[in-house]
Structure 1
């Protein structure tokens, strides 16, 4: 009898195990994360005849594209193809209908220009959040894609592997999904990490990949999001004993170029409106503390009035409102542990960000310490009644600008983004600035407050993104692709991390996954030539000749554009004043005189050359710019009046004819100059 009882027990356990295995839903491709990349990857898988499911914590599809980022950060539109382009084409189609314009007359936003209307697949690049979400929902209905929402991966024991292959993933609810291939489409990289893939959080030192804009940036060129004015960080101005104001770090910033654990700031990309019929006044959030904004009061007292400079217009009298200035909507320093935090801790971080940002809006609109002109203007804005209706009209997706970054087969770096090296095996393109928001707010040695980490480095051309950057290293995981938390240095990710690019990489990842299934190969071994052929067939743009680069090639002589100069000190990129050569020019900001140089070096054939310089003349330019030419006979120095017009019919001005060996150089300095110093191009023209 005892024997039969044991057998019965064994049979029941076996039956339960079989039942559990049968309960695991099986698909060709399991996508974790309902972001824009996740949805697009699912569509591509379906188009290639594969079964697919999207499962993840998202309740709303589309991630940040449906979460408030309606003023698309895109760079060159020609670099956006495939299903990513199709998404923006669907946006365009939506706004062609007069009924789509409820709160304002139909208007031609700048992204609806003649070049887009004439395009093979016309697109619109600005849109309302609910319109984006509907398009993603339309995708899953059109392609019959199952979506399981509000399901969180069991990050401790939810990934089952057989050798280096994931066989299934389990949610905290116990639901299990088996697949031949997996894609991590989350902003955090949770599946990637749980599967044992190596990754990085924070900034690498510049020395790791031979970069200049990674690591601590206390001495790097800054954008407008730093303190241009000298403001005391102390409760009693000038008195360190009184303690620091809120939201200022007590830690030193670190050595320039050094790596650290810090993560660039997050914020909610807010959708606001000034249309009274659709406006909800800014709420006073629970936990509101006006003392958190004392530093902003001091900024406003200096006369600063740029608070509204990033209220970018989207249809129907709404905005995509982003961070701008030294104290704004970026919650600097409050997200360092988010990438690897528990779900509970992440909720706390999100709540703190919401309180901070909603409190800042309420403060600007209501606090008597805010100048009246700012309060009056802010009070006209509010949250739109017809957006995020299940979340108090507040975005459901914070802008996770950066979290984990995979250490994959290929690491994208600054050299790739600046197109200084040949990037292998392109599966898509990027072209946006190398864009890092601030990572910390600290006290300078002089006793003033300053922000650190912001880099806005304009790129001269589009660049390729390597297939190896979305695949783990061989031996880690053979059937996982990572299009969002891809393999990249911090500063290169600052350019890659744009929603159009995530959709591009999502499509490419799904294509590679389908081919790996058909060929029974690990993702690292998918034949690139066949992958590229399929991607091109499906409309992806894998390479693109840059018109600025093509124009530079047509200029005679040995041309050194400002993109390729060696810089010391602070230089900013610009394209605001024309005419210039190439994609833009650089200037010294008319500050820090005597600390900035730009050296234009060239390899030459020995001989005589007319050395010429282009500088974008204007009345705001310096009249006494020091220029030094290094030639075979030594060095010759002279001064250039950059107010003077370029000779008629020419693109640059001559510095004289010199004899050269196999190299030459021209160095421009801002020492002792009386206004803005500009560098655009140096040219060495052979003299017969």
Structure 2
């Protein structure tokens, strides 16, 4: 099959749906191409408790979703931080139907045709792994992984850069510091030796590699996981023992609880998993809390962005195995304190969600992957200064939120002999004021692609991206990219050459906020 459109949007994520809708409302003929079978990415894929930041920064599609959620449940806006996953997907589906946007599912990008145009290098068409070909005047990559931009040969970065690259205080490898997500001291990494004094085989769930120097760029990618919906409903699905459950895989958790008993530490189930009934219907959005959590810290996320489709599927299955195993471990293992097991026995998976994927989410939480090297690089300095540049297309406000990057071990030289100890590294939470995200951060360099916009894997440092990466920001940036794509297609100009006053007026008409509040 071969199809032509004014605008092709790749990835029906929380950015992709607003991008397609905005482009269609701008008068463009739009095709939305989605590698999977669902709409909405993480917004419909388990991330029910949405990290909003300052609500004054919300506009456009993010504000519209907030309003539609309230209308659906008959509540005031903001009563729920997010809807039930199936409700989020239904809202996105309605938006696309109302805008007249066709969606092609099960369509992963395989190759991209490019040509040298009058305005620079241009994407001409993309071909999927199924052999379908989509030609367009303008393309928008709204995938979490940046697969379209990579297939087009647009340069990108993965993971943490060195502090010297942009002069950022929070760049590179971080200090080994205590915290809620950190592993407490004196937990041995060695299988068969809980004392940590006899070096041997390393336990599972550790990233067994040398640590980079402090502040050094090591390509570290923050951990991935599944955000699970949990319920206490009578028809809940219990946490049964998975067929592939590995006892040794959870030895690190047993050692954590053994240390807690020795030190008199009492952990609650809520602080291990997040059991606040913050979703409609009394459901909870399980999150990665505590030293052992839903997040996988063995370096899988470092590998994922550039991995082949086959290897990505293996890594996704590894995360699913981890998720099922973690829920069973917390609710059944004798090493887990009785109060935690008793509380977990009240919870299970909801029968009303994710029926086609075993009641676990269809979307892996890819917190970060590729980041385009574009026309303008958004950095830590822009965020901390609260800069709102003239070409701002959306506002950001969520703190710089870097989840744990790796779980490692080091020798601690304690008398009389060194002790091998587990450390968790990478977590950061740095407040920022409201700031502007410039149009230039959505644009590749002209010589790389003159008709491509990238609102998710945008041009930002790893530090800055850790704030931009929230779903409400993706919605607004996707909407801005879609509106700009339609405008560029109608004017027959490169995305770089859109008159900024015309673009600004167009975005204002869609409800996006581009001025400081």
Q: Name which of 18, 26, 34 aligns with 1:56.
A: 34
**TM-score when scaled to structure 1?**
0.70
- 1:316 maps to 281
Pair 1:203-2:160 in alignment: yes
The 3 A distance-change label for structure 1 pair 222 and 482 is farther
Equivalent-residue separation in structure 1 for 2:8 and 2:490 (angstroms): 16
Q: How does 1:322-401 map to 2 (within 5 A)?
A: 322-332=287-297, 333-401=299-367
1:608-623 aligned within 5 A: none
How far the C-alpha of 1:418 sits from its partner, in A, is 1.0
Task: Kindly indicate whether the alpha-carbon contact (under 8 Å) linking 2:268 and 2:339 is maintained by their aligned counterparts in 1.
Answer: no
- Which residue pairs with 1:69 in the alignment? 47
Cα gap change, 1:82 to 1:357, in 2 (>3 Å): same
The structural deviation recorded for 1:504 is 0.3
Counterpart in the other structure of 1:260: 218
- 1:600-640 per-position Cα deviation (integer Å, ceiling 9, x unaligned): xxxxxxxxxxxxxxxxxxxxxxxxxxxxxxxxxxxxxxxxx
Answering whether residue 248 of structure 2 is matched by residue 291 of structure 1, we say yes
Alpha-carbon distance in 2 for matches of 1:127, 1:538: 23
The alpha carbon displacement at 1:518 in A equals 2.5
Alignment match, 1:169: 126
8 A Cα contact 1:431 1:463, kept in partner = yes
For the pair 1:189 / 2:170, whether they are aligned, the reply is no
SS in 1 for 2:304: coil
Q: Structure 2: state its 5+ residue gaps.
A: 413-419
- Report the Cα distance in structure 2 between the residues aligned to 1:161 and 1:297, rounded to whole angstroms: 57
Structure 1 residue 366: Cα displacement: 1.2
1:483 is matched with 455
Greater RCO between the two (CA within 8 Å, min separation 6)?
2
1:140-539 map, 5 Å? 140-154=96-110, 157-163=111-117, 164-218=121-175, 223-235=179-191, 236-237=193-194, 238-277=196-235, 279-301=236-258, 302=260, 303-309=265-271, 310-312=274-276, 313-332=278-297, 333-419=299-385, 421=387, 423-446=389-412, 447-459=420-432, 461-539=433-511
- Whether 1:540 aligns to 2:498 is no
Kept in 2, the 8 Å contact 1:37–1:483? The answer is yes
Deviations 1:182-203 (A, max 9, x none): 0001000000011111100111
Aligned residues: 496
Q: TM-score, normalised by structure 2?
A: 0.93
CA contact (8 A) 1:70 1:127 kept: yes
The range that moved more, 165-174 or 438-447, is: 438-447
Q: Name the structure 1 match of 2:56.
A: 78
Q: Do the aligned partners of residues 222 and 544 (structure 1) sit closer, same or farther apart at CA in structure 2, a change above 3 Å counting? A: farther
Post-superposition shift, 1:360?
0.8
- Deviation, 1:307, is 4.0
Q: Is the 8 A contact 1:334 1:349 kept in 2?
A: yes
Structure possessing the higher radius of gyration over alpha carbons: 1
| Alpha-carbon shift at residue 451 of structure 1 (Å) | 0.5
Q: Which runs of 5+ in 1 are unaligned?
A: 1-22, 98-107, 113-123, 546-688
For 1:336, what is the secondary structure of its paired residue? helix
RMSD of the TM alignment (CA)? 1.6
CA shift at 1:404, angstroms? 0.2
Residues 372-420 of structure 1: per-residue CA shift (max 9 Å, x gap): 2211111111100000011111100010000000011111111111126
Instruction: Give the C-alpha shift of residue 516 in structure 1.
Output: 1.3
Q: 1:196 to 1:222 in 2, by over 3 A?
A: farther
Bigger share in helix = 2
* Alignment partner of 1:34 is 2:12: yes
Partner of 2:91: 135
CA distance in 2 between partners of 1:472 and 1:210 (Å):
22
